[in-house]
Amino acid sequence: MLITGAELFVKALKAEQIDTLFAYPGGQAIDLFHVLYGENDIDVILPRHEQGLIHAADGYARSTGKVGVCLVTSGPGATNLVTGIATANYDSVPLVCFTGQVPTGLIGNDAFQEVDIVGITRSICKYAVTVRKREDLAVIIKKAFTIARTGKPGVVVVDLPKDIQKEYGSDEYPEKIEIRGYKPNLSVHAGQIKKALETLNSAKKPLFLIGGGVSISHAHSEMQKLAEITGVPVITTIMGKGVIPTIHDLYIGNIGIHGSYAANMAVSNCDVLFSIGTRFNDRITGKIGHFATHAAIIHIDIDPASISRNIEVDIPIVADAKTAISALLEKAQKLDIGEWSEQIEQWKSQYPLFMKTKGLTPEKIIREINHTFDHAMIATDVGQNQLWATQFLELSDKKQLLTSGGLGTMGYGFPAAIGAKIGNPSKDVIVISGDGGMQMNIQEMATAVCYELPIIVCIFNNGYLGNVRQWQEMFFDKHYSSTCMRYRKSCPNICNSPTERCPEYTPDFTKLAESYGAKGIRVTKENEIAAAFETAKNTLKVPTVIEFMIEPEENVMPIVPPGNALDDMILV
Amino acid sequence: MKKRWICLFVENETGVLARISGIFSGKSYNLDSLTVGITEDKTISRMTISLTSDDKTFEQIKKQLGRSVEVIKVVDFADIAVHMKELMFVRVNHCSDREVDEIFKISKTFHASVIDYSPATVLIESIQTENRNNALIFLLEKCYANRIEIVRGGSVAIEALSIPKGTL
Ligand SMILES: Cc1ncc(C[n+]2csc(CCOP(=O)(O)OP(=O)(O)O)c2C)c(N)n1
Ligand SMILES: [Mg+2]
């Protein structure tokens, strides 16, 4: 049978078992929306901005393990995706983004709403392609889904010119395809696994370093088993946090610039660092020449390009985390490392993570979240709010963190939570956001209200772009340059601390929430936290915005100052 | 830092050249020359790339190229023997009669050929290894400073049949 390109598009989505589509229409996508009209098997979600759209698809994908699918129009619709493409791809989130395009005959003519979106996104996605012939459409869509979800997952952009959407052609959609330039590693080198185990077994001070890759390959239970069998303590990156329950005896904490003292000390003193699914990003290594200098380093990663790039690795293993960990489990054995474990316990109790400020603090709010919610997805924005969340949130297989780790995109948290709630209607979905980042995609409040999503939005309002302000306080002579969110034209142009006379914060987040039809609660005192969450939990059809008025100049501690080694941190 | 040669088999698709050169520019890798042409299989193009880098960066470059979906195969010429040639044209302007004669001699010595000339201008074609072409340029620049124009094609290479290692 002959069908149009647009009809094939819908057929392909169904064949790929896509039941949710994040989509925003426009002229060069109108044919695609036309075939989606009244479609029963695919929920078409209309966000309020394409950036919100793609972060929602990203949150949906991270929280369900499925591919997130976006559909937008050409030109501005496509360029509005760019930040979200980079955000998702950096954290290896599987997305397929369809962008409308001007008809093939007009490409290159500077037609209305023509942009070279493939050219723009080529370096920030896994694969980008323009469909140039109707007969290629099915294979390209199949290829897109295959590439997005296999190997190291990522973002694929498929640019769909309007004439191809309308053109009639075959209705066949392939079940499988071969991509000759794309062969993700499916096995694991037995010899390297053996070597890795020998090295691990000979260690006196071994340590597992777990990154986001372990979570992406869904190897949570395998990893926990491996830690328990060997008795080797575990540290994580932000992206790996939660792979084993954070309350587990073997769990130490996050490493890095804002890692815990014990985790940073452990990595600086270990003799074997067994790392899985991390790219040794500069945020976790501190001064590179001083990172884990006493350790033999074993590194498992699906991406050969991540191995021995930032850190020289002694035993490289290119493999999917789950496959490799399963292979390790076959021969893993208990290590005798009593002294090392005691040393770690000592570091842990010496400087536990805590905030010394009295009254309403992020720590207390987050601990209340830990206490109140059993099955939850917690999305964070970026900034101090995110760092506190990664310090104090308790995570497990029932509580997952969604955060922009690689790109650090402000404006990510709230729309990501929308996607997570759409994908997990029975779970509580909570957002932790700053007052700055919240305003980067606040328009999605309408989406959350319209789709009846009872998301709990916690805004940590410190009146500042707090993360940057903290750096200015600590390393730039307290020059609060462009970081005060209360600043008004009438303010002096030099200011380095909040006073009684500071102008009102705008917007009033609670009133803004109410105007969208959501619930708004302001919390100014510690003893109001629990009640606010209780109200939010019992609000079933609309989002609840809880604005927490926190100390303006609160800092994230401990911190490794720029250029320092990990064990050289400022603690309080 | 060392000179290196690699060859890529890539999909013969729009945008592949941009993708490959984008990896070099985006990641600040040094690219000396890149040639590309279609192979006996019309769906595959073959690129010959020369670059200068340290060992660690070179390993990264190969991995980054290898993980691109459009790249079918990466071959490092350090490991195998190849025949390699570069096409180069050099035009020498404002020559006296004596200089024209001299250029004919130089061409002969360097296994290049004069393929065209007008009374005061000589056009040399040289199909040599990049190093031999460099030597020819070195000489011409010395003798005819500010009077030469150079067009270099970048090298193409193919695996050798007769010897195990090195450049023929
Ligand atoms: C899109 C974007 N722009 C700028 C930054 C740089 N940046 C990182 S954290 C931060 C401050 C965030 O302020 P806020 O949202 O209020 O969170 P807080 O740090 O105060 O918790 C800024 C500007 C960024 N990460 N993302
Ligand atoms: Mg703030």
pLDDT digits (tens, 9 = 90+) for A134-163: 999 999 999 999 999 999 999 999 999 999
Q: Which H/E stretch holds residue A121? A: helix A117-121
Report pLDDT for A524.
98
Amino acid identity at A64: T
Domain B2-79 and domain B83-159, same fold? Reply is: yes
Which candidate in A129, A131, A156 is best for mutational testing of the B interface (most B CBs within 10 A)?
Answer: A129
* Contact call for B60 and A305, based on CB within 8 A: yes
Calculate how far, in angstroms, residue B109's C-alpha sits from the geometric centre of ligand 2: 74
Tokens of B136: 């020819």
* Contact call for B71 and A132, based on CB within 8 A: no
SS3 A276: strand
B33 contacts B152 by C-beta, under 8 angstroms: yes
CA distance A131 to A133: 6
- Residue A302, CA distances (Å) to A137, A148, A230, A511 in order: 29, 14, 23, 47
CA distance B59 to A262: 34
What pTM was computed for the model?
0.96
* Contact call for A305 and B67, based on CB within 8 A: yes
pLDDT at residue A83 is higher than 90: yes
Q: Which residues contact A531 (CB under 8 A, 6 or more apart)?
A: none
Topology at the third CATH level for domain A190-350 = Rossmann fold (3.40.50)
Calculate how far, in angstroms, residue B143's C-alpha sits from the geometric centre of ligand 1: 61
pLDDT at residue B167 is higher than 80: no
Ligand nearest to the CA of A51: 1
Summarize pLDDT for B88-141 with one digit per residue, the tens: 999 999 999 999 999 999 999 999 999 999 989 999 999 999 999 999 999 999
Find how far residue A421's CA is from the centre of its chain.
15
Contacting A with CB below 8 Å, chain B residues are 10-11, 13-15, 18-19, 22-23, 26, 56, 59-60, 63-64, 66-72
Q: Is the CB of A483 under 6 A from ligand 1?
A: no
Which candidate in B64, B67, B68, B75 is best for mutational testing of the A interface (most A CBs within 10 A)?
Answer: B67
**What architecture (CATH level 2) is domain A362-463+505-549?**
3-Layer(aba) Sandwich (3.40)
Of the candidates A122, A130, A304, the beta carbon closest to that of B19 is on A122
On the CB side of A564, CA atoms within 13 Å amount to: 14
Distance from CA of B72 to the nearest CA of A (A): 4
Distance from CA of B43 to the nearest CA of A (A): 11
* Contact call for B70 and A181, based on CB within 8 A: yes
B53 contacts B4 by C-beta, under 8 angstroms: yes
Mean pLDDT value across residues A352-362: 94
pLDDT at residue B168 is higher than 90: no
- Residue B165, CA distances (Å) to A102, B50, B74, B79, B81 in order: 51, 18, 18, 7, 4
Topology at the third CATH level for domain B2-79 = Alpha-Beta Plaits (3.30.70)
A152-156, A282-286, A480-484: the lowest-pLDDT one: A282-286
Calculate how far, in angstroms, residue A260's C-alpha sits from the geometric centre of ligand 2: 22
pLDDT at residue A261 is higher than 80: yes
Atom of ligand 1 nearest to the CA of A381: 15
Q: Is the CB of A434 under 6 A from ligand 1?
A: yes
Cβ neighbours of B59 in A, within 8 Å: 308
* Contact call for A303 and B67, based on CB within 8 A: yes
CA distance A501 to A233: 50
* Contact call for B68 and A181, based on CB within 8 A: yes
ipTM for this prediction: 0.91
Q: Is the CB of A386 under 6 A from ligand 1?
A: no
List where CATH 3.40.50.970 sits in chain A: 2-170, 362-463+505-549
CA distance A317 to A299: 6
Distance from CA of B22 to the nearest CA of A (A): 7
- Exposure string (b/e) for B18-33, b if CB count within 10 Å is 16 or more? ebbeebbeeeebebee
Atom of ligand 1 nearest to the CA of A437: 15
Q: What does pLDDT average to over chain A?
A: 97
Mean pLDDT value across residues B25-32: 93
Q: Is the CB of A466 under 6 A from ligand 1?
A: yes
pLDDT at residue B165 is higher than 90: no
Report pLDDT for B79.
81
> Residue B157 forms beta bridges with which residues?
B84
Cβ neighbours of B63 in A, within 8 Å: 304-305
**Class of CATH domain B83-159:** alpha beta
First vs last C-alpha separation in chain B? 23
Percent of all residues in chain A with a pLDDT value above 90, rounded to a whole number: 99
* Contact call for B15 and A118, based on CB within 8 A: yes
Tokens of A275: 């790392």
Q: Is the CB of A362 under 6 A from ligand 1?
A: no
Calculate how far, in angstroms, residue A409's C-alpha sits from the geometric centre of ligand 1: 8
* Contact call for B69 and A180, based on CB within 8 A: no
Biggest alpha carbon–alpha carbon distance for chain A: 73
Calculate how far, in angstroms, residue A81's C-alpha sits from the geometric centre of ligand 2: 25
Distance from CA of B164 to the nearest CA of A (A): 27
The single-letter DSSP state of residue A67 is: P
Calculate how far, in angstroms, residue A383's C-alpha sits from the geometric centre of ligand 1: 5
Contacting B with CB below 8 Å, chain A residues are 118-119, 122-123, 126-130, 132, 147, 179-182, 303-305, 308-309
- Report domain extents, chain B: 2-79, 83-159
pLDDT at residue A46 is higher than 90: yes
CATH 3.40.50.720 fits A2-170, yes or no: no
pLDDT at residue A329 is higher than 70: yes
pLDDT at residue B166 is higher than 70: no
Q: Is the CB of A224 under 6 A from ligand 1?
A: no
Percent of all residues in chain A with a pLDDT value above 70, rounded to a whole number: 100
Q: What does pLDDT average to over chain B?
A: 94
The single-letter DSSP state of residue A502 is: P
* Interhelix angle B130-143/B97-109, nearest 10 degrees: 160
Which candidate in A155, A299, A309, A313 is best for mutational testing of the B interface (most B CBs within 10 A)?
Answer: A309
Cβ neighbours of B70 in A, within 8 Å: 181
A138-152, A168-182, A219-233, A489-503: the lowest-pLDDT one: A489-503
Mean pLDDT value across residues A175-190: 94
Distance from CA of B84 to the nearest CA of A (A): 25
> Residue B20 forms beta bridges with which residues?
none
Q: Which residues contact A169 (CB under 8 A, 6 or more apart)?
A: A2, A3, A4, A5, A8, A134, A135, A137
Nearest CA owner, ligand 1 atom 23: A465
Q: Is the CB of A388 under 6 A from ligand 1?
A: no
Nearest CA owner, ligand 1 atom 9: A383
Q: Find where tokens 């959501």 sit.
A: A518
Q: Is the CB of A516 under 6 A from ligand 1?
A: no
Report pLDDT for A572.
83
Of the candidates A132, A147, A309, the beta carbon closest to that of B69 is on A147
